[in-house]
Structure 1
Amino acid sequence: MRIASYNVNGIRAAQRRGFEQWLATRNPDVVALQEVRAQHADIPDGVYGDYHVAYEEGGIKGRNGVAVLTRHAPSAVRTWSGDVRLNGELVPTEPMTLARGMREFAHEGRYVEVDLADAPLTVASLYLPKGGLPVHLQRPGRMREAPDGGVKYERKMRFLDSFARQLSRSRRTASANGREFLLMGDLNIGHTRYDLTNWRTSKNSEGFLPEEREWIGAQMSPRTLVDVVRTLHPETDGPYSWWSWMGQAFDKNVGWRIDYHLATPKLARTASAAWVDREPSRDVRISDHAPVVVDYDF
């Protein structure tokens, strides 16, 4: 079973740059998408081919949006908001009991999970907030964005606190129903020094702050969730999945690994290969992210 996670950074732009060709050529069985960034009516016809699409577009026009593409219609779909489109049609979803603090983020189009119809597996797609810097690290003139008093940082910390409880609940629910669990997506956090090129100078950068790294490490253990790509590529720089559009970051492979497959241990043990579909050159990039693909003998 070939499963991919892909932050497309806008499905309309991705289509123009070759997303359909990638999907047809790589031919994954399941695809988790993030930052679709389109209301359903604005999604190009045929961009997903023959896949069944569970899509949580969220309530912020032009922002976020997550989806799971499957070969067979899923047996169940769940979102935090209760709103989801299956193959373009609004459908009722199973109610999700939200963890404390999760309601603040429920309508932002950040999470959707499906139960596969052809395998005992629950697959989730997540777009985690990028965040920002805590107020004591904000220096005017040294930031790309204007200082915000730590607002984005504090919001991300609230999300992480709430989502840890929500993630545990989803994983345990899948187990209780006889299913393995796989969380994929753009987590906007590099875990270790092997997950970004300039790790020495990024210790005070959003996405690599000590508290963010501690949080993502706490979600993993041999008994809960396993970082599949890192398990197959131990103590190796990368494979990176995001590069800035600016300068020569892509050409020089100055990147971050912030897109993950986090799988329950039994599923993780079946992973036979993992790679990033990095384009050969900057001028043919589809997104600022590249797909993270794993083959599972499941």
Structure 2
Amino acid sequence: MVGRSARLASLAVLRIGTLNVNGIRAADRRGLRQWLAEHDPDVLTLQEVRAEPDLIPEGVFDGYHLSCDAGSLKGRNGVAVLSKAKPLDVRTSMGAKEFAAEGRWIEVDLPELTVASLYLPKGASPDDAERIEAYHRKMRYLPALARHLTKARRAAAKAGREFLVTGDFNIAHTENDLKNPKTNRRSPGFLAEEREWFSQILGPRTLTDVVRALHPDQAGPYSWWSWRGQAWTNDAGWRIDYQLASRALADAAVTGGTYRDPSYEARISDHAPVVVDYRV
């Protein structure tokens, strides 16, 4: 990724990123504010902030308007949208009362765009008897989210805005979206029912997986690697962080993908930023 002045010299674009920070205070210690200064996104959505706004390190978001829903689960979840432009409206409910207080959804109206940050439940395998409720919770969340995506996309269109949902979906949609698909058939995040749901929310008249459209045949680019073992070194990752855009916005994507940190030690999080430049 290049700096703002260089990219504007060749083509005016809107740079949008998404990142599961796995704790904003830890991410700041690992270099998040330096990454922000270098890559200068116009919008950055965050997941797993894990802090109330007053506990976010001072100065980390200088130059941005912060819209945040920390949720009520102390030390867990939390979503946010950082934007150079001042938000016109902010909403933190997607209509599912069971999940309303968990800090999993925030949507922000900007002058020509409605952008959302999502942290979808991880779930569990239906074979895991001890965690079967986690599986069912995710299965309840998915249809509620699908309904809201339709509602939010249509509302944005009626207001003359494009729509973009970003964040950690905790689902690898296709076999190209994780390193070892054959051994993960029964793993949460790659279950057939999760992948089918993902297919159903995509379409030429609904939402486009922007990074996959830019890289149709590539394995990955992955966005999450376990901290454990040699997953990062061997690029044994999962692509579970997405930007799903309404059609006109998706068609305006110039370039995009995962920013992979230069070394294991330099990682900001167990996730990597997914960044797309859109033509404006």
- TM-score normalised per structure 1: 0.88
Aligned to 1:132: 124
User: Per-residue displacement from partner, 1:54-91 (whole Å, max 9, x unpaired)?
Assistant: 011111111111010011211111111xxxxxxxxxxx
Q: Does 1:198 align with 2:211?
A: no
Rounded Cα–Cα distance in structure 2 between residues aligned with 1:235 and 1:201? 21
**2: CA distance between counterparts of 1:148 and 1:43?**
35
Offset from partner CA, 1:118-145 (integer Å, 9 cap, x none): xx110000000000111xx22xxxxxxx
Deviation of 1:246 (Å) = 0.5
Gaps spanning 5+ residues in structure 1: where?
81-95, 139-146
Q: In the alignment, does 2:88 pair up with 1:75?
A: yes
Letter in 2 for 1:126: L
1:275-286 to 2 correspondence within 5 Å?
275-286=257-268
Corresponding position of 1:158: 140
Q: CA deviation at 1:255?
A: 0.1
1:271 corresponds to which of 207, 232, 253? 253
- Alignment of 1:24 onto 2:43: no
1:217 aligned partner, one-letter code: S
User: In 2, distance between residues paired with 1:105 and 1:164?
Assistant: 14
Q: In structure 1, which of residues 148, 159, 167 is the aligned counterpart of residue 130 of structure 2?
A: 148
CA distance in 2, matches of 1:184, 1:267: 13
Secondary structure at the counterpart of residue 201 of structure 1: helix
Query: 2:243 — aligned with what?
Result: 261
C-alpha distance in structure 2 between counterparts of 1:130 and 1:65, whole Å: 14
More helix per residue: 2
Distance 1:46 1:72 in 2: 18
Equivalent pairs: percent with the same residue?
57
| From 213, 219, 224, the counterpart of 2:201 | 219
Shift of 1:149: 4.9
Asked if 1:56 corresponds to 2:48, the answer is: no
Q: Deviations over 1:158-179 (max 9, x none)?
A: 0002111111111111111111
1:102-127 per-position Cα deviation (integer Å, ceiling 9, x unaligned): 1110111011111113xx11000000
Paired residues of 2:172 and 2:239 also in contact (CA < 8 A): yes
Distance 2:202 2:85 in 1: 30
Aligned partner (choices 219, 230, 234) of residue 252 of structure 1: 234
- 2:109 matches 1:109: no
Task: Give the distance between the partners of 1:41 and 1:75, measured in 2 at CA.
Answer: 22
Measured after TM superposition, the shift of residue 247 of structure 1 is 0.5
Whole-angstrom CA distance in 2 between matches of 1:183 and 1:161:
16
Structure 2: segments with no counterpart, 5+ residues: 1-13
Paired residue for 1:170?
152
How many residues align? The count is: 267
The 2-side partners of 1:197 and 1:107 are apart by 34
Q: Secondary structure at the match of 2:248?
A: helix
Q: Does 1:8 align with 2:21?
A: yes
- 1:84 is matched with none
Matches of 2:253 and 2:131, distance apart in 1? 43
Secondary structure of 1:148's counterpart equals helix
Counterpart CA distance in 2 for 1:46 and 1:252 is: 35
**What letter corresponds to residue 107 of structure 2 in structure 1?**
E
Q: Is 2:113–2:162's contact at 8 Å kept on the other side of the alignment?
A: yes
- Distance across 1 between alignment mates of 2:131 and 2:103: 25
Give, in angstroms, the shift of residue 41 of structure 1: 2.3
Structure 1 residue ranges, 4+ long, deviating more than 4 angstroms after superposition: none
Partner residue of 2:50 out of 11, 21, 37: 37
